[in-house]
């Protein structure tokens, strides 16, 4: 909506929205502009996933919109990180990387883990082995560089750490032999062959799920097999195309070498996946799409190979209507209706390039839950109704990313119970059944200040302070057992976790631990038994520790290192207190030699473990007697030669 909005004053840009990257630039270093031009930046931030605030020319700070979290501070050039800077973890206020950037990528510097230890070094100003990371810190490339560009062998990864390419590079692009793994919605396509300037040039594309060649490439073009009628050296009349495995790929009519008129498409198993009208080689007119089981998935109009005009989508498992409405360039665009698995209407309204934009109504089991306007799939302005009670208005006003922003909240009788102004005020939140889940202060549309959280039964679970929607500051947690409420924890929080000084109790209200916590784990302090006697002490997460479950029964006793089970220890059955496991731990998991016991105390296994699984040689027992010697790999029995 504001993609092309730009504001200039004395030829100096105050802010601009970069649409495709969903990034907002804000120039604040010109004090005269800031004083004389009043712009409410909040109105534009909801369009940006990230935004940059410049403190001086070429120097600024980059934030993510969620929680307004600082992720980078340093030098920029043309909105990209260039020069010296510091990068911070997304989920913690900890330094992740410090050094120099080039064209938005890390160039030279030092990377750090969560504890502050050096995790890697970069020096890309010279030639050799290099690692590239995206702005989230995910590894996206590792390989060789020459003159500051990818040259030689290398690997590419997606943001989930999956290998997507392995091969040779030249002058910064894929050049030479390589292999590409491409994940699509329904299958996995794999290319093996030669590249030319990032283009798959000569080779074969495989369907790994069916172990078949889909097509071959020669000089960047598909090599298809065809039989049918020709005229003047081109396909004209009726004809058929085939996959390299001999299966039928297409049958229909051709004109001057291109598909025209009626035709049918098949997958590499020979199953019909599409039938339609064609023009200029592409789908044009009415058509139908099918899945691999022959079930109708879509029927409607096409233009230039994409869904355009009116159409219908269907659920695969039962063929029920999923969507009916208008399309443009293959996406929902215009008026449309969505239906749930039961066939009930779930939404009716306007779409813009695949997303709900404009007026619309949302339903749940035929009950209206929202009536108003949408912006990119999010509530923008309207009325929100209680999901469990017919036509009971819960909130009316403006929303920001589905969060209540400006408006009034109502109780079951229609009385105003709170009011929000720019996301600020005292708020009550309810679940679909009208049960109170939160009551407290809001700031900028998020929990900020004092508040209380309740479970789905309306029982108090937490009371304390919040910051940017997360527990931060002093707070208390509670148990609820046999209609009795007891204190579970009291102390300090940071980023929604126990961090700082605090006390932990069992559900009988007896002090279990007192000291410092780190990311919900016990770090520095003393542990107590039910009589108040000190039974262990932790120093920086290290020491001999006893863990208890909520009712006070012993769960584990043994060694800790960096806040995790590490070294020798024992696990106990929580019902009768008998030993369940005795052995070695590493980084919180069973690793090394160990023994398992049944609830009667009889030995049932002794052997080796790796990451909590039996791994390696071991012995199995019955009533304390050895009955077999076995081998395990990742918890599964394997035969040993």
CATH number of the domain that 622 lies in?
2.20.110.10
In a domain, 75, yes or no: yes
| Residue 45 DSSP class | H
CA distances from 91 to 23, 94, 350, 429, 635 (A): 20, 9, 36, 25, 33
Q: Is the pLDDT of residue 337 over 90?
A: yes
The residue out of 35, 61, 94 marking a domain boundary is 94
> What per-residue confidence (pLDDT) applies to 415?
87
- Whether residue 272 is contained in a domain is answered as no
Q: Provide the pLDDT for residue 423.
A: 78
Residue 17: which pLDDT band, with cuts at 50, 70 and 90? very low
The per-residue pLDDT for range 460-497, each reduced to its tens digit, is 999 999 998 899 999 999 998 777 889 999 999 999 99
3-class SS of residue 459: coil
Q: Which candidate, 138, 201, 147, 148, places its Cα nearest to that of 174?
A: 201
Residue closest to 471 by CA, chosen among 495, 445, 500: 495
Tell me the pLDDT tens digit for each residue of 266-318: 988 889 999 999 998 899 999 999 998 889 999 999 999 899 999 999 998 88
Q: Model confidence at 214, in pLDDT bands (50, 70, 90)?
A: low
Whether 275 and 289 have beta carbons less than 8 Å apart is answered as no
Residue 610: inside a domain: yes
Query: What's the confidence (pLDDT) of residue 416?
Result: 87
Write out pLDDT tens, residues 44-66.
Answer: 444 456 788 888 888 989 988 76
The domain of 49 spans: 1-94
Residue 16 pLDDT greater than 50, yes or no:
no
From 50, 73, 94, give the residue that closes a domain. Answer: 94
DSSP symbol at 66: G
Residue 598 lies in a domain: yes
The four Cα atoms 159, 162, 168, 171 give a dihedral, to 10 degrees, of: 0
Residue 466 vs residue 535, higher pLDDT: 466
**Closest to 358 measured CA to CA, from 367, 349, 366:** 349
CA distance 199 to 25: 34
Domain end call among 46, 74, 94: 94
Q: Is the pLDDT of residue 257 over 50?
A: yes
Instruction: Work out the burial of residue 504: count CB atoms within 10 Å of its CB; fewer than 13 is exposed, 13-18 middle, 19 or more buried.
Output: buried
**Does 623 reside within a domain?**
yes
Let me know if residue 241 belongs to a domain. no
DSSP summary character for residue 438 = E
Q: How confident is the model at residue 125 (pLDDT cuts 50, 70, 90)?
A: low
Confidence at residue 580, expressed as pLDDT on a 0 to 100 scale: 94
166-169: which pairs have CB atoms within 8 A and are 24 or more residues apart? 167/195, 168/195, 169/143, 169/144
How much is the pTM? 0.49
- Domains contained in the chain, number: 2
The answer to whether residue 174 sits within a structural domain is no
Mean confidence (pLDDT) of the chain: 83
Q: What is the pLDDT of residues 594-636, one digit of tens each?
A: 999 998 899 999 999 999 999 988 999 998 899 988 889 888 8
The backbone torsions φ and ψ at residue 354, rounded to the nearest 5 degrees and listed phi first, read 90, -5
* CA-based torsion, 214, 217, 221, 226: positive or negative: negative
Tell me the average pLDDT across 226-253.
87
Give, as one character, the DSSP assignment of residue 68.
G
Radius of gyration of the chain (CA): 31
Q: For the chain, what percent of residues have pLDDT higher than 90? A: 41
pLDDT of residue 432: 66
Of residues 512 and 434, the one with the higher pLDDT is: 512
Say how many Å lie between the first and final Cα of the chain, rounded.
68
Asked whether residue 349 is domain-assigned, the answer is: no
Q: How far are the Cα atoms of 5, 25, 60, 61, 606 from residue 50, in angstroms, in the given order?
A: 17, 9, 13, 11, 53
183: pLDDT strictly greater than 80: no
- pLDDT, mean of residues 195-211: 81
């Amino acid at each position: 909506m504001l993609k092309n909005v730009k504001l200039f004053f004395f030829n100096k840009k105050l802010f601009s929205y970069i649409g495709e990257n969903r990034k907002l630039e804000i120039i604040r270093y010109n004090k005269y502009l800031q004083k004389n031009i009043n712009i409410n930046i909040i109105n534009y931030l909801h369009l940006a996933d990230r935004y940059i605030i410049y403190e001086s020319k070429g120097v600024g700070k980059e934030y993510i919109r969620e929680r307004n979290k600082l992720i980078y501070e340093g030098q920029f050039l043309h909105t990209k990180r260039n020069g010296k800077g510091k990068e911070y973890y997304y989920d913690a206020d900890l330094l992740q990387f410090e050094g120099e950037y080039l064209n938005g990528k890390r160039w030279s510097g030092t990377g750090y883990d969560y504890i502050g230890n050096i995790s890697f070094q970069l020096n890309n100003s010279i030639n050799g082995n290099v690692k590239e990371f995206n702005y989230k810190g995910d590894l996206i490339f590792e390989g060789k560089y020459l003159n500051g560009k990818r040259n030689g062998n290398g690997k590419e990864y997606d943001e989930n750490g999956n290998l997507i390419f392995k091969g040779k590079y030249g002058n910064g692009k894929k050049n030479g032999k390589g292999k590409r793994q491409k994940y699509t919605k329904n299958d996995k396509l794999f290319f093996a062959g030669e590249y030319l300037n990032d283009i798959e040039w000569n080779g074969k594309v495989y369907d790994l799920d069916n172990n078949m060649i889909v097509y071959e490439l020669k000089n960047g073009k598909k090599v298809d097999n065809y039989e049918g009628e020709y005229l003047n050296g081109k396909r004209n009349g009726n004809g058929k195309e085939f996959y390299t495995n001999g299966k039928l790929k297409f049958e229909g009519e051709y004109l001057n070498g291109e598909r025209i008129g009626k035709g049918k498409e098949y997958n590499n198993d020979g199953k019909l996946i599409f039938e339609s009208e064609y023009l200029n080689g592409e789908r044009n007119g009415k058509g139908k799409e099918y899945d691999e089981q022959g079930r109708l998935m879509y029927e409607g109009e096409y233009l230039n190979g994409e869904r355009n005009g009116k159409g219908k989508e269907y659920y695969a498992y039962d063929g029920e209507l999923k969507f009916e409405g208008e399309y443009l360039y293959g996406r929902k665009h215009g008026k449309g209706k969505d239906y749930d698995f039961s066939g009930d209407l779930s939404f009716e309204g306007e779409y813009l390039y695949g997303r709900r934009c404009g007026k619309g109504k949302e339903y749940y089991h035929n009950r209206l839950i929202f009536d108003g306007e949408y912006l990119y799939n999010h509530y923008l302005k309207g009325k929100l109704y209680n999901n469990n009670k017919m036509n009971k208005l819960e909130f009316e006003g403006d929303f920001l990313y589905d969060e209540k922003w400006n408006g009034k909240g109502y109780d079951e009788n229609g009385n105003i119970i709170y009011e929000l102004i720019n996301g600020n005020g005292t708020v009550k939140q309810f679940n679909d059944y009208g049960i109170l889940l939160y009551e407290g202060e809001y700031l900028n549309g998020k929990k900020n200040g004092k508040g209380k959280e309740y479970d789905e039964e309306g029982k108090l679970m937490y009371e304390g302070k919040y910051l940017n929607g997360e527990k931060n500051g002093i707070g208390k947690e509670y148990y609820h057992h046999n209609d009795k409420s007891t204190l579970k924890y009291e102390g300090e929080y940071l980023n929604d976790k126990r961090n700082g000084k605090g006390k932990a109790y069992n559900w009988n209200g007896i002090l279990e631990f007192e000291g410092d916590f780190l990311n919900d784990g016990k770090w520095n302090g003393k542990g107590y038994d039910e009589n108040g006697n000190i039974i262990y002490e932790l120093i920086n997460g290290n020491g001999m520790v006893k863990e208890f479950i909520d009712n006070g029964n012993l769960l584990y006793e043994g060694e800790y290192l960096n806040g995790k089970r590490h070294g020798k220890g024992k696990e106990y059955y929580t019902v009768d207190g008998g030993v369940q496991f005795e052995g070695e731990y590493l980084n919180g998991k069973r690793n090394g030699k160990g023994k398992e016991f049944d609830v009667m105390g009889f030995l049932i296994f002794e052997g080796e473990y790796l990451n909590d699984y039996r791994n390696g040689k071991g012995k199995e027992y019955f009533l304390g007697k050895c009955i077999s010697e076995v081998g395990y790999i990742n918890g599964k029995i394997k035969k040993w030669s």
